Amino acid sequence: MKKASLLLAIVFAASMIAVQCPGGAPATIKVGVVAELTGDIPAVGASCKNAAEMAVKEINDAGGLEIGGTKYQIELFIEDNAGKADQSASAAQKLITQQNVVAIIGPNASRYAIPASEIAESAKVVLISPWSTNPKTTLDAKTGAAKRYVFRACFIDPFQGRVVAKFALDNLKARKAAVLYDVASEYNKGIAEIFKQTFEESGGQVVAFETYTTGDKDFSAQLTKIKNAGPDVVFLPNYYSEVPLQVQQGKRLGITVPFLGSDSWGSEELIKLCGGDCEGYYFSTHYAADAATPVAIKFIEAYKAKYGATPDDVAALTYDAFGLLWTALKNAGKVDREAVRDAMAKIPKYEGVTGTMQFKEGSGDPIKSAVILQIKGGKFVWFANANP
Amino acid sequence: MGVDMTYILQQALNALQLGSIYALIALGYTMVYGILTMINFAHGDLFMVGAFVCFFLATALGLPFVPTLLLTMMGVALLGVTIERLAYRPLRQAPRVSAVITALGVGIFLENFTLALNPYPQHIPTLIPVITWNIGDVSISSLQALIIVLSLALMVLLDFIVRRTMVGMAMRAISWDKTIVPLMGVPMNLVISATFALGTSLGGAAGVMYGLAYPVIDPYMGIMVGWKAFISAVVGGIGNIRGAMIGGFILGAVEIMVAAFFPSTYRDFVAFALLLVLLIFRPYGILGQPRPQKV
């Protein structure tokens, strides 16, 4: 017993020296990523991984991140959650306990970010989800208060739902709307409900509010019902892998009114899977690659040079999540989970790729604006801005 | 809103399309069960492989519809026969549960093998021109018509093979008795291979048609569809070919009609509650016969 504790003390002391020693190996900071590399939305995971590797490489190539006078190299650990809620939680657990990371970026989809955020919160480790827009990600499930350690780089669904509802009413002059959404997915359900509420409060009428479950491929019954209700617009707040099926089946059943979407549409994969069927439709998202600020242009150019593709919103938000983390680490002045959390909550203004972000104390949700994009000639084209 | 005729007709067409795909896949389950009394849980994943083979033939080789369909059916049949030869035949004398676990394993292997090749969902191009005809207010697309007609034709063909040909007679004989019939000169292994080839080629055809109707395919697409087809086979009376067809159409109709007349959230739960009730009254399925236990 005594021997063991003595040994432990020696190991502990040695590790302290190893960190302090200026002549030894360069000091490193470990950062974890949980992404959807396989499963139903692998394009999201791929973008997240690309942007994460790019953000870390930029810092390491520049000699490291300077915190309190010491330059730190960043060591990145990427875990796949396989598009499963339980694997998201266990990946977060593994990063925290085995890799001992200082913070976690990801997961992206709300249905995976929510379970992972519970783990991070209870382990007191900062988690920044780039793309999870469901309010529950940053809120405690029991008390409804804000989680202390969970942040995000994107806006939240109540805001997005309002933006799309207002857009349908004001720009498309729609008076009757239909909604088809995945009732088994937090993101889709949340945004559909906010859309319905806002649309009806502003004088519109939701004539069909139809559901399905994740993995369904046949929507003919629901779409026939929607067609019969005669809407002016159909809102599909669903993921890019399902939207093409819904649009194609809707068109075959004779629905001719425009379809509308949310930020889950914003992957290049959507255009590939749609063929030409999604041409002319609109969706709300985080940034427009063709109407970018100087900060964004620099990022877009670097990303294109490295990966040969235009970064989608997940890539941009992941890059911003890392930017927020670097800022928090610098402001904290030391590599400590608690200090990083405090610095994160006090970021007054961050100029990111996806716009300016600001955190209020006591909330992990940034204040930022949204954009409406249109699919035109097989590309996402900026259409309008929407401010909070 | 009154429930008008066109709405019901439109939903009936939707039900026929979904039901014919379930029926085609259900046939694969029921044929294998009929001859080996084993549930081939890999069948849903063979259906998925069919959709991916179709994707490959249509995009990489740019083949039109008919050769794509035929080559896919042959490819999947070959895979089915190979799986039977390598995975199931060595276990024919083993406890039934070992064979079922092996089938589950083969299914997971197929899913993850496809996943390892490419995790991205794929888009199957339109292989036939999509024309929408309007008869009154009812829209029917050329695709819907093709799926329904082709599925029915394949089912009639299968029914003919099983009931009117020598191979079919051999299949029925083997499913009746596996000890005496081989002694009379019926090559059992060959007949079982033929059964797998027929059943899985229908699964491959279903994969092609499903891929045309719902053109976004992914490696996990076979799981849920496979379960539903399996349920169709049980409802119709597993082991009975005509039963599997009826079961497929019943499940398709129940799913569509529940979503059509109730809130769509209730679909699966009402549909499966109905099926449970049906099984309470007909535990062997609609056309199934209780097998007498030989003591």
The reported pLDDT for the residue numbered B194 is 94
| Residue B101 to chain A, least CA–CA distance (Å) | 23
The reported pLDDT for the residue numbered A212 is 92
Residues of A in contact with B256 (CB under 8 A): 220-221
* CB-based contact B123 A272, cutoff 8 Å: yes
Residue found by looking up tokens 């995945």 in the block: A182
Q: Are residues A118 and A184 in the same domain?
A: no
Q: Are residues A23 and A134 in the same domain?
A: yes
Q: Does the residue A365 lie in any domain?
A: no
CA distance A284 to A384: 9
Closest chain A residue to B18 measured between Cα atoms?
A218
* CB-based contact A183 B255, cutoff 8 Å: no
Count interface pairs A-B at CB distance under 8 A.
95
Asked if residues A59 and A104 have their Cβ atoms less than 8 Å apart, the reply is no
Q: Are residues A241 and A339 in the same domain?
A: no
Q: Does the residue A170 lie in any domain?
A: yes
* CB-based contact B268 A38, cutoff 8 Å: no
Q: Does the residue A350 lie in any domain?
A: yes
Q: Which of B16, B222, B55 is nearest to A215 (CA)?
A: B222
Q: Are residues A218 and A102 in the same domain?
A: no
Residues of B in contact with A182 (CB under 8 A): none
| Residue A255 to chain B, least CA–CA distance (Å) | 10
Closest chain A residue to B121 measured between Cα atoms?
A241
Q: Which domain holds residue A234?
A: 157-285+372-386
Domains of chain B: 5-281 (1.10.3470)
Asked if residues A338 and A124 have their Cβ atoms less than 8 Å apart, the reply is yes
pLDDT tens across A334-368, in order?
899 999 999 999 888 899 999 888 887 788 999 88
Residues of A in contact with B213 (CB under 8 A): 218
Number of domains in chain A: 2
Radius of gyration over every alpha carbon of chain A, rounded to an integer in angstroms: 22
Q: Are residues A308 and A379 in the same domain?
A: no
Q: Are residues A187 and A240 in the same domain?
A: yes
| Residue A329 to chain B, least CA–CA distance (Å) | 35
Q: Are residues A16 and A87 in the same domain?
A: yes
The reported pLDDT for the residue numbered A284 is 93
* CB-based contact B18 A242, cutoff 8 Å: no
- What amino acid is encoded at B8 in this protein? I
Q: Are residues A86 and A233 in the same domain?
A: no
Q: Does the residue A76 lie in any domain?
A: yes
The whole-angstrom distance between residue A85's C-alpha and the CA centroid of its chain comes to: 15
Closest chain B residue to A247 measured between Cα atoms?
B214
pLDDT tens across A249-278, in order?
999 888 999 999 999 998 888 998 888 889
Q: Give the residue numbers in B contacting A (CB under 8 Å), as ranges.
A: 1, 7, 10-11, 14, 17-18, 115, 119-121, 123, 125-126, 130, 132, 134, 139, 141, 143-144, 210, 213-216, 218, 220-221, 223-225, 255-257, 259-260, 263-265, 267-268
The reported pLDDT for the residue numbered A14 is 54
State the burial class of residue A270 (Cβ atoms within 10 Å of its Cβ: 0-12, 13-18, 19+): buried
Closest chain B residue to A254 measured between Cα atoms?
B139
Which residues of chain B register pLDDT less than 50?
A: 1-2
Q: Are residues A75 and A144 in the same domain?
A: yes
The reported pLDDT for the residue numbered A25 is 57
The reported pLDDT for the residue numbered B111 is 93
Q: Does the residue A364 lie in any domain?
A: no
The reported pLDDT for the residue numbered A22 is 47
The reported pLDDT for the residue numbered A21 is 46
Q: Are residues A210 and A328 in the same domain?
A: no
pLDDT in tens, chain A (388 residues): 556 665 556 555 555 554 544 445 568 999 999 999 988 889 999 999 999 999 999 999 999 999 988 899 999 999 999 999 999 999 999 999 999 999 999 999 999 999 999 999 999 999 999 999 889 999 988 888 899 999 999 999 889 999 999 999 999 999 999 999 999 888 899 999 999 999 999 999 999 999 998 888 899 999 999 999 999 999 999 999 899 999 999 998 889 999 999 999 988 889 988 888 899 999 999 988 887 788 899 999 999 999 999 999 999 999 999 999 999 999 999 899 999 999 999 888 899 999 888 887 788 999 888 999 999 998 999 998 887 6
Residues of B in contact with A241 (CB under 8 A): 121, 216, 218
β-pair partners for A35: A80
User: Strand A370-376 to strand B216-217: parallel, antiparallel, or no bridges (unpaired)?
Assistant: unpaired
Q: Are residues A34 and A77 in the same domain?
A: yes
The CATH number assigned to the domain holding A235 equals 3.40.50.2300
| ipTM tops the 0.95 cut | no
The reported pLDDT for the residue numbered B134 is 83
* CB-based contact A220 B119, cutoff 8 Å: no
Q: Give the residue numbers in A contacting B (CB under 8 Å), as ranges.
A: 37-40, 42-43, 183, 210-213, 215-218, 220-222, 224-225, 228-229, 241-242, 244-245, 248-249, 252-254, 269, 272-275
CA distance B51 to B44: 11
Q: Are residues A218 and A276 in the same domain?
A: yes
pLDDT tens across A111-127, in order?
999 999 999 999 999 99
